[in-house]
Amino acid sequence: MSACGNCGWPDDEPSEVISRHRTSEGVLSYVRCVCGRIELRMTPYGSASPIAAVTPAD
Ligand SMILES: [Zn+2]
């Protein structure tokens, strides 16, 4: 868990998500903190908890 480097507000509770863009790497989002700091954040695909998994057989 990280927090804003400016005011310490938790990163998972941004005051505003300005925009989101899907890229080949994941979802790129611009979020604005309560202190006004704007952060560019990359959320790789698959970082969320998996809803299903398959283990390949040898
Ligand atoms: Zn902040």
How far does the centroid of ligand 1 lie from the alpha carbon of residue 28, in Å?
19
Task: Please report which helix (H) or strand (E) contains residue 47, including its range.
Answer: none
Confidence of residue 1 (pLDDT cuts 50, 70, 90): low
The answer to whether 41 and 31 are in contact (CB under 8 A) is: yes
How far does the centroid of ligand 1 lie from the alpha carbon of residue 42, in Å?
18
> Using the 8-state DSSP alphabet, how is residue 50 labeled?
P
**Other CB atoms within 10 A of residue 43 CB:** 13
Tens-digit pLDDT profile for residues 10-50: 877 778 899 999 999 889 999 899 999 998 888 888 766 56
How far does the centroid of ligand 1 lie from the alpha carbon of residue 13, in Å?
10
Note the pLDDT of residue 7.
Answer: 92
Number of alpha helices (DSSP H) and beta strands (DSSP E) in the chain: 0, 3
